[in-house]
A and B are shown apart, each in its own frame.
Chain A
Amino acid sequence: MKNRLRVLRAEQEWTQADLAAALEVSRQTVNAIETERYEPSLTLAFKIARLFGQPIEEIFISEDRQKK
């Protein structure tokens, strides 16, 4: 699954550590999500969406949606 987390974080001028603090996760988790090595749980995905004020599907793009 692709995601726009790095772009959204850069727009806010947050570091990975800032975002990790806001989401109450480790910086490693933020990095793993950004580099698409880890797909977050639904709970964390909702938390990310709420933090950036965007719907989940605007941040996380599934492979099927990309093909369409």
Chain B
Amino acid sequence: MTTPPNSCESDRRRRERWLLILGIGWLFDYGLALAVIGSELLPAGVRPVVALLPVPMFGVFMALLISVLRRLDELERRIHLTALAVAVPVGVVGLMCAGLLADWMDAGARHTALRFAWAVLPVAYGVCYAVVRRRYA
């Protein structure tokens, strides 16, 4: 039996693991900023700094994400692209409906909804990715 050379599968898995860790770290930063920014003890001048708290972690996350994307093979790229192509209109409709529903909400609920509006697109993307991936499983 002739065995072909080993791939860099373990390297990819390592990068994906780090991506997950950084993603959790980034969400933790966001949660921390969210918890602190509303505090009345926080001086007004510090608020913009707190609002930008998730940015450095996001920068590292993006750098690693790009390196993972560059290593994807053609089928994986197609899966991501299809998921993105479906997720964007789904996300837009989700935001559109949320915007229409905002008229029914009181100011407090509208403020909370606005804070979490960013999550519509990644959630739509995650669901679309899982569905498209199943097609090729």
Contact = CB atoms under 8 A, between A and B. Distances in A.
Contact of B136 (A12, A37, A41, A51): A37
A63 interface: no
Contacts of A44: 74
Interface residues of A, number: 22
A46 interface: no
A28 B136 contact: yes
A29 interface: yes
Nearest to A29: B75
Contacts of A14: 1-4
Interface in B38-86: 73-76, 78
Contacts of A12: 1-2
Contacts of A17: 9
B4 A26 contact: no
A29 B74 contact: yes
A32 B5 contact: no
A64 interface: no
Interface of A: 12-14, 17-22, 24-26, 28-29, 31-32, 37-38, 40-41, 44, 51
